[in-house]
Chains A and B, each alone.
Chain A
């Protein structure tokens, strides 16, 4: 009986403290407005606006041949990958455009191009690529090689009288089937990625700032001499902030992702929210550890930035995780976002359930537990 009463008081205290945190948050109007913006308009803009696939690579052409063949080749550089930026007379003029960043590619077609192709001789076109952005430059070069290769093979075989008879040639063609996002709608990926970013930033910062604020003002001593346990103090903050974040996330999910971008939810919605809560808890652990180390909010800001930056860039939404150096992959096993990415895309797009995701979930639990434990230990020790 007493145990049960103790448990209810414990719960009530936790609830009261959580409520206090929520009240405090609702009084901060600029912050609330910003939270709303981050999970609605901001998702809309970055979801619709960004394509990392090669798009609109501005192509300049210097055509020294002006023949049917050269025109046909130029015609094969099509949107969305390429954007024709005009023809130039002088290659040096093209270089100036590249210098100024007005074009990314310069294709030079030599004189006698048509003639060479018709008579079955070898010929070559030259491509100048701006590689200040290396991946994009490489990608553009690869497309060009592919386009020219196909075009050349067609012409070469035609000159040998083999055109139109493709059925009798030994060719390997690719039949692609893209899973989980058949139309390769990049908005699905980008909008989800943006929500993941926002969730992570808020999950680190909100509880950390809330905790360090009490420290800075000295109100944390008052809380500690009250009958509240350190766990309750920390947990109430995380609970309140997680609630807010989950609410904001549903806004993004039902206000933007589903109605605007038609992102599917193949798996279980309940599972997704449950695991999001787990991610928020784990990530909040980082913030709490930082909060116990910091003396004021400026320090906490710096420390969390230190953690959040690499987390956002190296966990796998901005760059391909599989091609990261091993040491980065090793460091990133400590990033909850890394698991949450697999979970989110898994549940939403692949319809993955717990049997597939249990490893990621286990890793997050372990990480979150450790961080919380460490944070608690630091928090207790500081005031004894």
Chain B
């Protein structure tokens, strides 16, 4: 049975090529291309003061790598237009008497207009603005204390900035986006490509009618289903190894954990993903339905609820429940744990167990659902 399925798959050379090429190519594209850091925010400036200090202040934004300077505006209405047109995402308006007030020791409010369509980016941009304002304020305060109180630079510095934060980044010491993305992308590509491999297996036979040959043959249910799964599990496992090699070799992501643990988790996970495809294949009547349902079932929860982009902790309850009902989250924990944290089974046992349960449950349900004597 497996041999027949294998032959059928290998005969379709284009499909086979894609089955191997897709995960590898995706890892390259997303690994290099998917940048989650918010940088180069396009912004424009309206300087109503035109003083030395306002220029000094604005220079800090222009030089920041987080902002990308798009030019000066003459009036507020021009900024409105640029924002609506999405030419800029932020605008800074320096008020009149900016320098005068600061030199006199008075506070000044600088107005920023932010594009709120992407709240995450808005929030981050706001953070950058506040950070730059804070740094500028500190310099002004130090200058002010020196002039008004005759303090030394050193002493004024301590007063203004007595508390500092020493940040130590764990697991990904240089905070590289690729390091945190690539392991999760291994999960992502497996989760997306594997179910699609199996999704059409049964339904194709249903559509062409050849499933009746199976119904009337001596092939048992388990034999049939294993036969449908096995070749694709093999393909997916080869992909696991290829992806692992690429992550370690090409992207130089450290692998601190236990390879055996990682691999067995991958086997379980591949069982789940190919099983999901097969399950869908059993439930629907047409290949078209199988294709679309599989793609959405595989893609949407994986992008949203797997921990790939959004940490599980920041999901609301409903979404958290959905995340736990799906194997991707557990595998993400294992992959990130094995690559970056180097933790072993003592920490990851629960995720491993969950994957095992998923694999068992999916195969159980599939087995129950597939009867050789369909009602209709």
* Chain A interface residues toward B at CB < 8 A: 28, 30-31, 34, 38, 42, 45-46, 48-58, 83, 98-101, 104, 116-117, 120-139, 141-146, 148-153, 155-157, 159-160, 166-182, 184-186, 188-189, 194, 197-198, 201-202, 205-206, 209-210, 213, 294-306, 308-310, 312-314, 318-320, 322-325, 327-328, 331, 342, 345-346, 349-352, 356
Whether the pair B288, A174 counts as a contact (CB closer than 8 A) is no
Known A58-B313, A345-B117, A352-B84; contact A171-B162, beta-carbon cutoff 8 A: no
Name A146's contact: one of B25, B131, B169 (CB within 8 Å): B131
State the majority secondary structure of interface residues on B.
helix
Known A153-B160, A159-B159; contact A298-B200, beta-carbon cutoff 8 A: yes
Q: Does B219 contact A (CB under 8 A)?
A: no
Interface bracket on B: 35 or more
Whether the pair A28, B121 counts as a contact (CB closer than 8 A) is no
12 additional A-B pairs beyond A48-B316, A137-B172, beta carbons within 8 Å, are A31-B284, A50-B319, A126-B165, A130-B170, A134-B175, A146-B134, A160-B149, A170-B105, A178-B116, A198-B296, A320-B35, A320-B118
Interface segment out of the listed B12-20, B238-246, B264-272, B363-371: B12-20
- What distance in Å separates the Cβ of A326 from its nearest Cβ neighbour in chain B? 10
Which residues of chain A are within 8 angstroms of B145 by Cβ–Cβ distance? 160
Whether the pair B165, A145 counts as a contact (CB closer than 8 A) is yes
Q: Does B171 contact A (CB under 8 A)?
A: yes
**Binary CB contact string for chain B from 158 to 188 against chain A (1 if under 8 A, 0 otherwise):** 1111111111111111011101110000000
Whether the pair B12, A299 counts as a contact (CB closer than 8 A) is yes
Name A28's contact: one of B136, B289, B305 (CB within 8 Å): B289
- What distance in Å separates the Cβ of B14 from its nearest Cβ neighbour in chain A? 5
Q: Does B355 contact A (CB under 8 A)?
A: no
Interface pairs A-B: 10 shortest CB-CB: A49-B319, A152-B163, A181-B116, A31-B289, A55-B314, A209-B288, A302-B18, A323-B39, A178-B116, A131-B172
Which residues of chain A are within 8 angstroms of B3 by Cβ–Cβ distance? none
Known A138-B175, A146-B131, A172-B57; contact A34-B86, beta-carbon cutoff 8 A: no
Name B18's contact: one of A167, A299, A325 (CB within 8 Å): A299
- What distance in Å separates the Cβ of B5 from its nearest Cβ neighbour in chain A? 12
Known A189-B117, A205-B291; contact A173-B107, beta-carbon cutoff 8 A: yes
- What distance in Å separates the Cβ of B137 from its nearest Cβ neighbour in chain A? 5
Which residues of chain B are within 8 angstroms of A152 by Cβ–Cβ distance? 161-164
- Of all chain B residues, which has the CB nearest A348? B117
Whether the pair B286, A31 counts as a contact (CB closer than 8 A) is yes
- Of all chain B residues, which has the CB nearest A210? B288
Within 8 A of A (CB), among B123-140: 123-124, 126-127, 129-131, 133-134, 136-138, 140
Which residues of chain B are within 8 angstroms of A83 by Cβ–Cβ distance? 313
State the majority secondary structure of interface residues on A.
helix
Whether the pair A50, B315 counts as a contact (CB closer than 8 A) is yes
Which residues of chain B are within 8 angstroms of A351 by Cβ–Cβ distance? 84
Known A134-B175, A134-B177, A320-B118; contact A325-B33, beta-carbon cutoff 8 A: yes
Which residues of chain B are within 8 angstroms of A306 by Cβ–Cβ distance? 18, 22, 25
Which residues of chain B are within 8 angstroms of A188 by Cβ–Cβ distance? 119
Whether the pair B84, A313 counts as a contact (CB closer than 8 A) is no
Which residues of chain B are within 8 angstroms of A171 by Cβ–Cβ distance? 107-108, 137, 140-141
* Chain B interface residues toward A at CB < 8 A: 12, 14-15, 18-19, 22, 25-26, 29-30, 32-42, 57, 68, 83-86, 89, 101-124, 126-127, 129-131, 133-134, 136-138, 140-141, 143-145, 149, 158-173, 175-177, 179-181, 192-193, 196, 199-200, 204, 283-289, 291-296, 299-300, 303-305, 307, 309-311, 313-316, 318-320, 322, 333, 336-337, 340-341, 343, 347
Name A52's contact: one of B101, B296, B309, B343 (CB within 8 Å): B309
In the bound assembly, the distance between CA atoms of A384 and B50 in angstroms comes to 71
Whether the pair B120, A174 counts as a contact (CB closer than 8 A) is no
Which residues of chain A are within 8 angstroms of B114 by Cβ–Cβ distance? 176-179
- What distance in Å separates the Cβ of B12 from its nearest Cβ neighbour in chain A? 7
Name A322's contact: one of B68, B143, B294 (CB within 8 Å): B68
